[in-house]
Structure 1
Amino acid sequence: MSSSTENIDTLKQNMRREAIGRRKELDEGERTEAGVRLRELAAQLLDKPSTIELKPGDTAAAYVSMGTEVPTLGLLDELNGRGLQALVPRLGSGRDIGWSEYVGKSGLREMPHTATGGLRPAEPNGEILGPEAIADAKIIFIPAFAIDLDGTRLGRGGGWYDQVLGLCRADALKIGVCWDFEFINRHHAVPREAHDIPVDAVMTDKRIIILQ
C-alpha cells in the first residue's frame, strides 16, 4: 500500500470516528424526529416530477438503517406506500451483493453481528435477488458518514456501495443520506478515489440538496 493510500485511509477513518462521536450525542427523541422528517422530505422529492418521475411498479432502492444512521423505515414505508418496488440489501459474505423487496417492518428479521462484532442491518425474509436487480432502480438512497459539494461520499469502508453504483442505470438518481451536520458545504472535502462514483443529491434529516 502506498503512503498516499495510507494517508487517505487514515483521513477517512478519522472522519468516520468523528461522525460516529457526534451521532452518539443525539438522543432517542432526536433520532425519532429525524426519521419522520426523512420520510417527509422523501415525499416532497417524489412529488416533484422535475427531479424524478416515478409511477407504481417502478423500482427504487434504499436500505434499512442501523446503529447511529438516520432512521430509514419511514422512508421505506413512503416508497412502499406509493406502489414502488423498494429494494434493500441482502448482505452475503464479504462484498457479495444481493437485494430483497421491502414489504414492511413486520417482514424484517434482525441479523446477527458479523464475525468481527460489527452491526448488520435487518433484512427481509423474502426472495433474494441478484446484483443485477439494482439496474431497474430509477432512484437509489445510499448511506454516508459525510458528503461534500462534489457529491463525494464517505461510506462504511467495505466497498459494497462502490460495486452497487457501478451496476446502476446511467440515469438513476443517486441520493446520499446523512445527518445534516455531515454534509460539508465545500468542494474536495471528502477524499475521492478513482473508483468513487459521486451522488447527485443529498438528503439529511433537515433538507434536500441537489448537487450540480
Structure 2
Amino acid sequence: MENETDLTVKECKTRMRRAAIARRKTVGEAERTEAGKKLMNQVQKLVSHGKHATDAFPSDTNTEANAANGDRCNVSLSVGASVAAYVSMGTEVPTLPLLEWLLSQELRVLVPRLGRGRDIGWSEYSGENGLQEMPRNAAGGLRPKEPYGKVLGAQAIEEATIVFIPAFAIDLDGLRLGRGGGWYDQVLGFCRPDALKIGVCWDWEFIDQYGAVPRESHDIPVDAVVTDKRIIGISKKNLAINGSAN
C-alpha cells in the first residue's frame, strides 16, 4: 500500500506536469519549429566529431563564477559510436533536427521502441522517412513515432556514450520530471557508468533551485541539461569520451 509521503510526491509531480503541459500549449508552431533547430545547435556545441568540443559546458554552473571557471566536459565521438535519443511528440521541443544531425555525423542513433506499456526496447534511427505513426496507448495518450526496423533489447543502451532524455522539468540536483510512466526510470539503470545523461526540456522548465523536483528512491539524476537556448552542466563528471565504432 502506498504511504502518505508517496502519494504527496506523486500528486506534486502530477500538478507540475499539468502546469508544464499548459505552458507548452501556448507555444506556436513557428516557435516550436525554431526551437528544434536551436536545440540541435546547442548539442553541436557539446558534441564534436573526431576531436574535443571547443565550446563544451562547465560541469557545474550553479553560479556565475562556476559557469566561468568550472571544469570542462568534452565529448568526442568517432564514426559508428552509439547515441541514444528519442523522437519528440506533442508539446516537446522537436528533436528531429537533432536526430538528423546526429545521423549526419555517422553516429549510430538509437530511439525507443515502447512495445507494451513499460517494455524497454530500441531501434536504430535511419531518418524521418523510416518512422511510422503509432496508435495511442491504452489510456488514450500519444505515443512517439517509431522506426520500422529491428527491435533491439533493453541492453542496447549499454553501448550509448550519450543518452538524451525528455523532461517536463529539471532542477539543480539533476532530478527530472518525466512523462509519468516510469519508462526512463528503468532505462537509466541499463546505461554504462560513464555515459553522459542529458535531460532535454524547454528553457523555462529548467528550475535554478535544489529540491524543486520531488525525489523518489528510484530517481537517477542527469549530468547535464540542454534546452533550446543553453547547455547547463549539473554533475562533476568531466568526460573526454571517445566512442568507438561497433
- SS of the residue corresponding to residue 76 of structure 2 reads coil
Q: Is the 8 A contact 1:150 1:198 kept in 2?
A: yes
* Residue equivalent to 1:203: 226
Identity of aligned residues (%): 62
Q: Which residue of 1 is the match for residue 58 of structure 2?
A: none
Counting only pairs closer than 5 Å after superposition, residues 91-102 of structure 1 correspond to structure 2 as 91-102=114-125
Moved over 6 A (4+): none
Alpha-carbon separation, structure 2, partners of 1:164 and 1:84: 20
Larger RCO, structure (CA 8 Å, separation 6 or more): 2
Q: Partner of 2:61 in structure 1?
A: none
Other-structure match for 2:105: 82
What letter corresponds to residue 208 of structure 1 in structure 2?
I
Code of the aligned partner of 2:31: E
DSSP-derived class of the 1:77 partner:
helix
Equivalents in 2 of 1:142, 1:78: separation in Å?
Answer: 17
Give 1:88 deviation, angstroms.
0.1
CA positional deviation for 1:51: 2.1
Q: After superposition, give the CA deviation of every residue in 1:163-209 in whole Å (9 maximum; x if it has no partner).
A: 10000000000000000010000101001111100000000111110
Match of 2:78 in 1: 55
Q: Name 1:164's counterpart in structure 2.
A: 187
In the alignment, structure 1 segments of 5+ residues that lack a partner are none
Please list every run of 5 or more consecutive structure 2 residues that lacks an aligned counterpart in the other structure: 55-72, 236-246
Specify the alignment match of 2:36 in structure 1. Answer: 35
Q: C-alpha separation between the residues in 2 aligned to 1:32 and 1:79?
A: 18
The amino acid across from 1:193 in the alignment is E
* Cα displacement string for residues 147-169 of structure 1 (whole angstroms, at most 9, x for unaligned residues): 00010000011110011000000
Name the SS for the 1:158 alignment partner. coil
Give CA deviations for 1:95-122 in whole Å, capped at 9, x if unaligned: 1000000010000001111121100000
Give TM-score scaled by structure 2 length: 0.85
Calculate the aligned-residue CA RMSD, in Å: 0.9
| Aligned-partner SS, 2:120 | coil
Correspondence for 1:21: 22
Amino acid at match of 2:85: A
Q: Deviations over 1:31-70 (max 9, x none)?
A: 0000000111111110217421211100000000000000
Partner of 1:146: 169
Q: Secondary structure at the match of 2:77?
A: coil
Shift of the alpha carbon at 1:211? 1.0
5 Å-filtered alignment, 1:118-133, equals 118-133=141-156
Which amino acid counterpart does residue 178 of structure 2 have in structure 1? G
Match of 2:238 in 1: none
Which secondary structure state, in structure 2, belongs to the residue aligned with residue 129 of structure 1? coil
Indicate if the aligned counterparts of 1:42 and 1:78 stay in contact, CA closer than 8 A.
no
Q: Distance in 1 between matches of 2:135 and 2:118?
A: 17
Offset at residue 78 of structure 1 (A): 1.2
- Whole-Å separation in 2 of the counterparts to 1:93 and 1:84: 28
Report the equivalent of 1:194. 217
- Say which SS state the counterpart of residue 88 (structure 1) adopts: strand
Aligned pair count? Answer: 212
What is the TM-score with the length of structure 1 in the denominator? 0.98
| 1:94 CA displacement | 1.9
Tell me which structure has the larger Cα radius of gyration. 2
Offset from partner CA, 1:1-53 (integer Å, 9 cap, x none) = 10100100000000000000000000001100000001111111102174212
CA distance in structure 1 between the aligned counterparts of 2:179 and 2:29, rounded to whole angstroms:
22
